[in-house]
Structure 1
Amino acid sequence: MLAFSGFNGFGQFGVDSQRSGNAFTDITLEKSLTGEQSVLHVAISWSYTAFAIGNQLILCGFLSSTPYSTLCLQISECIVQLAACDRFCLVLCKNGKLYKVRAENEAQLQEVKLEAEVQALPQKRTIFGEMKKASTQAEHAHITHIACGANINVAISEANAVYSVPSKIHQFSKHFRVKQLQCGFEHAVLLSANGDVYSWGNGFRGQLGHDVLRVEETPLLIEALAGIKINFIAAAGWHSAAISAFGDLYTWGFNSNGQLGIRMFKATSSGNLKQPTVFTLPQIIDLPACKCLRKSAGVESVDHLEYTAVECTPLRIYAGARHTLLQMNCGALYAAGWNAHGQLGLGRKVEYCDEFEHVECAESDLKDMQIVCGSWSTVIFKYS
């Protein structure tokens, strides 16, 4: 299964698909990408979509200011990660090298040269016991994680160096391990293997979670989440989100269209009171009771399927420019935020949804599905 919901005005999800839709619609890939080769990777910008399998890369959409364009490239190495912004797509290969492809019809693969990492070699002594002069050597970074937004491009190396591509801005300790890296328009969020969350970049809309509206030049621990083991993070536009090991959902940043899952208006005795738009600290979100489709015991007929209340907790979270999707451990999918182009996949026309609402999808069990959010669209797929 490979389907999208949302904006398709430039043919980024196929020329035969409608311009925008309110429910998930199947995507037909180029024949070269439909073989049983490897894992499918998808990255979505506002104007084009990048697909990759093995060493093949395809960009579809608005290329060289021309809609319904397609660029096909074959790379010598296997592709393991993609990250897209409106101007170019970052491509990370299995050998740790990072490349860039511009959103142009005749674009070629360009290797990204990062600042060399300087490593100090162990000091040695002369035969008389004197210390020899310390020596260093420069090594090219082996990249393990990439992410990019409209005004920020981040890469993490195997040696835990953090790059604002191409410059090195921070160095974590050798024992540090990166689990996830996400970028919004102007900020980055990083999840470590031990469950700590760091953020940096522009925080003037509260997207950093530090309770201040300012710019952070280097990764800074989000103190409000310190001591809470976080399992999954998301960031896009001007908001961020995280799921804890206890199954709690936290969101923070800009809530212009309800993308935080927080109501934009609060009912009072005197009428509707407008809620704050910017939340500088992570907010724990109350989620609707989840109802999962379960088959009655011992009954094989589809007619006997019924909804049964079960204990469901958040599993993964995904973010677009002004919308957020939540994947539950039972397979249910929920969405909140801006929906002018149908990017929430709700199956009905609504301008926005300021609380998480269940997404009815043709695929009844989404536990094993991959989900990628673009600025104005969402893609779900199960492809290997």
Structure 2
Amino acid sequence: MKGANSYGQLGLGHKQDVFQPEALKEFAGNQKTLRNVAGGGGHSSVITDTGELFLCGQNKNGQLGLNHTEDVIHFTLCSSLSGCPIVQVACGWDFTIILAGNGHVLSCGSNSFGQLGVPHIGRGCSVPQKIESLKDNVVNVAAGLRHALAATDNGSVFQWGTGMVSHAKRTCPEKTIPPFLGAKEPCKVTGLENIQVKSVTSGSYHSASLTAEGELYVWGSNKHKQLVSKYDFVLRPQKIDTHYFLDEKIRRVWNGWTHMVAQTGTASETEYNMQKYFCLDDP
């Protein structure tokens, strides 16, 4: 772990910035294999191969799910989820989205923009709450600055949190804003009908979905041309033409604050013979 550490988000037991990588003592040599790692505005999370969720860092909105709001400088087990194996976690600016092995989604932290997907909660909560309105089994989740996404096992995508809607209204003042951009609980993303989505990713104010056929659909802010569109804001999912990827299928996608990275390959899902990486951002 290295980098900014103002809130103890590196989990090293202090709050000093770190300029050289340091091993996490909690996990080094104890035979715990880490399966998923995620970072938010000032907090971090890891999932072990046994489905345990550990978090650390900034916690003023309860985004660590530890039933308090004090910052934590060591990776700490989320004990309220004991007995509930976790398969993925996504960290937004000041909230956390948690995917359990049974396909249920939980959330904790700030809810000022409806990013928890649980409308009856006020400004936030410090214990993970199940998002009851997500009825289908979820297979993948993502978090932006103040919005979140979920892909279900039937290929649908849901979005919630109002973090993108002000950008949409400012950039597209004369156009109708799709409901999913301003929803405070999971709302189906329109424009992906008859498309089998397998995963979702998100930047600060943009979202993306990757289909089972290796096609990439994007929407949201395009201020830095990360969505490869002529518009400054893409209101509904728009497919990025495959010629940008040398007509290859996309295997994986990652999002930064205002850019995207896509990996293509001609091999199977489990073993790539050839792979290329494409960065979509400012020239």
| Same structural fold, with TM-score higher than 0.5 when normalized by the shorter chain | yes
Q: 1:179 to 1:323 in 2, by over 3 A?
A: same
Structure 1 counterpart of 2:278: 334
1:312 equivalent among 245, 248, 251: 248
Equivalent residue number for residue 191 of structure 2? 224
Question: Which residue among 261, 268, 273 is the counterpart of 1:325?
Answer: 261
Structure 2 segments unaligned to the other structure (5+ residues): 61-70, 122-128, 170-174, 266-271
**Out of 52, 57, 67, which is 2:54 matched to?**
57
Q: CA deviation at 1:201?
A: 3.3
Q: Select the structure that is richer in strand.
A: 1
Contact 1:33–1:52 under 8 Å retained in 2: no
TM-superposed deviation, 1:226: 0.4
Query: Is it true that 1:31 corresponds to 2:25 in the alignment?
Result: yes
Question: Structure 1 residues 288 and 213, CA, compared in 2 at 3 Å: closer, same or farther?
Answer: closer
What is the identity percentage for the equivalent residue pairs of Structure 1 and Structure 2?
A: 20
Equivalent residues of 2:143, 2:202 under 8 A apart: yes
Give 1 or 2 for the bigger CA radius of gyration: 1
Per-residue CA distance 1:21-62 (angstroms, 9 max, x = gap): xxxxx84332221232233432212224333535573525x6
Q: Distance in 2 between matches of 1:246 and 1:211?
A: 30
TM-score with structure 2 length normalisation? Answer: 0.63
Equivalent residue number for residue 70 of structure 1: 73
Counterparts of 1:92 and 1:172 in 2: how far apart (Å)? 12
Find 1:194's aligned residue among 118, 138, 154.
154
> Whose RCO is larger (CA < 8 A, sep 6+)?
1
Give runs of aligned pairs for residues 111-190 of structure 1, distance below 5 A: 144-146=104-106, 151-154=113-116, 163-164=118-119, 166=121, 171=133, 176-190=136-150
In structure 1, stretches of 5+ residues that fail to align are 19-25, 97-142, 156-162, 263-274, 291-310, 338-352, 355-384
- Provide the rounded CA distance (Å) in 2 between the counterparts of 1:38 and 1:260: 35
Q: Kindly state the Cα deviation for residue 182 of structure 1 after the two structures are TM-superposed.
A: 2.5
Equivalents in 2 of 1:285, 1:149: separation in Å? Answer: 33
- TM-superposed CA distance for 1:278, in Å, is 0.9
In the alignment, what sits opposite 2:167? 205
Q: Counterpart amino acid of 1:59?
A: C
> Aligned-pair distance for 1:218?
4.1
The aligned amino acid for 2:38 is A
The answer for the alignment partner of 1:104 in structure 2 is: none
Residues 313-361 of structure 1, C-alpha deviation per residue, up to 9 Å, x if partnerless?
1122233332323233444333334xxxxxxxxxxxxxxx35xxxxxxx
Contact 2:141–2:151 (CA<8 Å) still a contact in 1?
A: yes
Report the 3-state secondary structure (helix = DSSP H, G, I; strand = E; otherwise coil) of the residue aligned with 2:167.
coil
Query: Partners in 1 of 2:190 and 2:98 — Cα distance?
Result: 32
Given the two structures, how large is their TM-score scaled by the length of structure 1? 0.49
| 1:257 lines up with 2:224 in the alignment | yes
- The secondary structure found in structure 2 opposite 1:205 is helix
CA RMSD across the alignment:
4.1
- d(CA) in 1 for partners of 2:160 and 2:224? 23
Q: Please tell me whether residue 278 in structure 1 is matched to residue 274 in structure 2.
A: no
Aligned residues: 234
